[in-house]
């Protein structure tokens, strides 16, 4: 899969048992290299370790879509912040992404131009700092 630039996996398209699908996703995470966009949508049972396996081979990621991936924790978001310096778009929804995680993005990911923080619990102060510093020249 080295020639592919986009990976999309939606759990609502997966009709099999999670125990059958999870090993396939681990193989996909190891096989996908140098992709630019990853859309992992509604994979509510995906853990940080699987996300980190995708990130390990894909340091050129520009788009990460984790809408509906509620089991991703601060550990997964720290990995994104550290391992994805070219990230331009981050879509997260209803995750355990904290104020500290958002501060890490503000400090380490200067290329972000698009975000979706639907149903995330950030403080107003943290959001103000994120958007004010992200938009300054």
pLDDT in tens, 91-109: 988 777 778 878 877 777 7
Q: Give the DSSP letter of residue 16.
A: S
Alpha-carbon span 13 to 127, nearest angstrom: 33
Q: What is the CATH number of domain 5-133?
A: 3.80.10.10
Which band of pLDDT confidence, cut at 50, 70 and 90, is reported for residue 3?
Answer: low
Report domain extents, the chain: 5-133
Tell me: the pLDDT tens digits for 19-51? 767 777 888 888 888 889 999 888 888 889 999
- Convert the pLDDT of each residue in 42-91 to its tens digit: 888 888 999 999 899 898 999 999 988 888 888 888 899 888 989 999 99
Q: 122-137 burial string, b = 16+ CB within 10 Å, else e?
A: beeebeebbeeeeeee
Q: How far apart are CA 64 and CA 114, in angstroms?
A: 10
pTM for the full predicted model: 0.80
């Amino acid at each position: 899969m080295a020639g592919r630039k986009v990976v999309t996996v939606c759990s609502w398209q997966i009709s099999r048992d999670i125990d059958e699908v999870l090993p396939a996703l681990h193989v996909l995470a190891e096989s996908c290299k140098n992709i630019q966009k990853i859309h992992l949508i509604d994979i509510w049972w995906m853990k940080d370790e699987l996300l980190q396996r995708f990130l390990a081979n894909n340091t050129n990621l520009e788009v990460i879509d984790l809408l509906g991936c509620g089991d991703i924790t601060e550990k997964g978001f720290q990995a994104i912040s550290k391992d994805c310096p070219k990230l331009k778009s981050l879509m997260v929804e209803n995750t355990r992404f904290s104020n500290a995680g958002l501060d890490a993005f503000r400090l380490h990911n200067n290329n972000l131009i698009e975000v979706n923080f639907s149903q995330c619990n950030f403080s107003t102060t943290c959001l103000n700092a994120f958007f004010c510093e992200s938009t300054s020249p």
